Amino acid sequence: MVFKNQQELEAYADWAKVELRGMADHARNSDLFQEEAVGHAVWTLPQRLFIGKVWPKSDRDRAFWVISGVDIPTDHIESSLAETAREAARHFSMKWQLQSARLGDLREQDESAGPESDVEWDQVAGKLRAQAEALYGLVEQEDIWRQTEGPLLDKQS
């Protein structure tokens, strides 16, 4: 990833720090482990999508993939389910598709319980399905998953 100037690099660094804090908060709030979380970014689409790994400070083998970003749910899976960030993204996409279908089933159960429910299950399921499809679209874009090497700043600008 190459940034055109120092400001772009700094904006990316600030965004990544927020995402890393969010990843640690998600690990704590989801009760993945009780101790201090350690982690790092593995793959990012700057300002849009963050995929990282997090683990308890005392046991790196208990790692989880975490995904977060703009207009997507923050979620996690066990690290053993994917070798790479791209595989993790594919797994999240499939997981959200399945959850979307389950929400449709919940809608049917909710309707049979009576008119008291104020949850719009169709909207929730539709949003999650759209997020899954958008993520899968990214997974299929070969060029964005290639690792880049070299300087962070474009010296020609």
- Are 79 and 65 in contact by the 8 Å Cβ rule? The answer is yes
Tens-place pLDDT, residues 12-47 = 999 999 999 999 889 989 999 888 888 999 999 989
Q: What is the arithmetic mean of pLDDT over 117-136?
A: 87
Q: Is residue 95 packed enough to be buried (19+ CB in 10 Å), middle (13-18) or exposed (0-12)?
A: middle
CA–CA distances in Å: residue 36 to residues 61, 95, 112:
14, 27, 44
Residue 71's pLDDT is 85
pLDDT(130) > 70: yes
CA distance 83 to 94: 16
Residue 117's pLDDT is 61
Tens-place pLDDT, residues 50-85 = 999 999 999 999 999 999 988 888 999 999 999 999
Three-state SS string over 75-124 comes to EEEEHHHCCCHHHHHHHHHHHHHHHHHHHHHHHHHHHHHCCCCCCCHHHH
Handedness of CA 94, 66, 138, 71 (dihedral sign): positive
Q: Is 39 helix (H, G, I), strand (E, B) or coil?
A: strand
- How many Cα neighbours within 13 Å face the side chain of 58? 4
